[in-house]
């Protein structure tokens, strides 16, 4: 469902992403981990169509993001790391706005929006302006709006930032459920326990280059570690700059 081909982003002063190649299959949860400034958010923003790559290609559900960005974006639910929203809209109005952009049927919206608000503990806040929301509430509203149009692909940058433990648990459960229904999920995160717990495969990026990828066991093998956790694997690969 997701294919990155020689994806490169050169900011002029720094190459944030360097010839990145990867494939993510339908129903797979792919974790993208790496230290600060590794190029995770740049990759995610290019995949979401927010940033234009310097070179290389992004194929989303068989559609080239450069050739057919609008069609490709229709397949995606994008959740950024920082919850910037239209502060002067209410939660419900923001969901309506998203539904209109993604062409969600009116009846479907009327049925789904209250459910999502309920699910994300925002029901009592639906008619309040977003400016009154806390950081975590804004993050939950963004996740709710990303799920509104039943996307085939979810691209998530740091999904659990600002969420309380119960919301973290709920989001994890939702993501697992969606993956079981063949939704492809691409998650960038710093929280290794989440990657370990949630992801089928993990890619490790450092200084814009994909150093290693595979299941947790495969990564342990690459790092030549036996019964180690993802944290040890991460630190070993980063330290040794092991390439696949």
Partner 1 sequence: MNNTFLLLRPRFVSAINSMRPRNGKRNWPRFFMYGSLGFVFWAGTFIIFYRVLFYFQSIQDFGNILAMKLISMLIIIFFALLLFSNIINCLSHLYLSQDLPLLHSLPVSSENIFSSRWIISTFDSSWMIVAFSFPVFLSYGLIYKTGITFYLTFLVTIVFMCLITSALSSILVLFGAKILPAGRIRTIIIVLGVFMTLLIILVLRLIRPEQLVNPDSFASVVLYLNSMQTPDSPLLPTTWMTDVIKSSLSGEIQSCLFNIALTGTCAFMLIFISNMIARLIYFNGFSKSQTTSKRLFAPVKYKGYNWENLLNFLPRESKAFAVKEIRTFFRDSAQWPQLFLMIALIAIYLYNFSVLPLDNLPIKAVYLQNIFSFLNIGLAAFVLTAIVARFVFPSVSMEGEAFWIVQAAPVSIKKFLWIKFFLYYVPLIILVEFLVVVSNLLLRVSPFMMFLSTITIFWLVPAVVGMAVGLGAVYADFKSENPAQAVTSFGGLVFMVLCFCLIATVVILEAGPVYSIFMADLRGQGISLFQLTWSVISFVFAFSLCLLAIFYPICLGEKKLRIR
Q: Which residues contact 189 (CB under 8 A, 6 or more apart)?
A: 31, 32, 33, 158, 159, 160, 195
Residue 139 CB, nearest approach to partner 1 (Å): 13
To the nearest whole angstrom, how small is the minimum distance from the Cβ of residue 154 to partner 1?
Answer: 12
Residues pairing with 79 in the sheet = 156
Cα 76 to Cα 2: distance, rounded to the nearest angstrom: 10
* Window 87 to 106, contacts with partner 1 (CB under 8 A): 87-89, 93, 96-97, 100-103
Task: Report the chain's C-alpha Rg in angstroms.
Answer: 18
225 binds partner 1, rule: CB under 8 A:
no
| Rounded distance between C-alpha atoms, residue 208 and residue 186, angstroms | 17
Would you count residue 15 as binding partner 1 (CB under 8 A)?
A: no
From 24, 58, 76, 141, residue interacting with partner 1 (rule: CB under 8 A): 76
154: three-class secondary structure by DSSP: strand
User: What's the chain's length in residues?
Assistant: 244
The site string for partner 1 over 36-75 (x = CB under 8 A, - otherwise) reads ------------xxxxx----------------xxx-xx-
Residue 162 binds to partner 1 (criterion: CB under 8 A): no
Residues near partner 1, by CB under 8 A:
12, 48-52, 69-71, 73-74, 76, 78, 80, 82, 84-89, 93, 96-97, 100-103, 127, 129, 131-132
């Amino acid at each position: 469902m997701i294919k990155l081909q020689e994806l490169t982003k050169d900011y002029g002063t720094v190459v944030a992403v360097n010839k990145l190649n990867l494939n993510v299959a339908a129903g797979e949860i792919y974790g993208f981990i790496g230290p600060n400034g590794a190029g995770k958010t740049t990759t995610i923003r290019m995949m979401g169509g927010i940033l234009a790559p310097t070179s290389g290609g992004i194929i989303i559900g068989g559609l080239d993001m450069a050739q057919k960005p609008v069609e490709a974006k229709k397949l995606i639910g994008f959740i950024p790391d920082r919850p910037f929203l239209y502060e002067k809209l209410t939660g419900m109005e923001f969901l309506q706005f998203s539904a209109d952009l993604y062409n969600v049927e009116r009846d479907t919206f009327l049925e789904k929006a209250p459910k999502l608000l309920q699910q994300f503990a925002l029901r009592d806040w639906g008619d309040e302006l977003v400016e009154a929301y806390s950081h975590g509430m804004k993050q939950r509203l963004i996740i709710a709006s990303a799920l509104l149009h039943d996307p085939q692909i979810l691209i998530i940058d740091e999904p659990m930032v600002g969420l309380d433990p119960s919301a973290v648990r709920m989001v994890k459960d939702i993501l697992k459920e969606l993956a079981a229904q063949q939704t492809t999920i691409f998650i960038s995160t710093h929280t290794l326990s989440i990657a370990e717990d949630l992801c089928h495969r993990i890619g490790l990026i450092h200084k814009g280059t994909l150093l290693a990828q595979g299941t947790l066991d495969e990564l342990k093998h690459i790092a030549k570690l036996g019964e180690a956790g993802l944290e040890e694997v991460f630190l070993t690969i980063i330290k040794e700059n092991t390439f696949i």
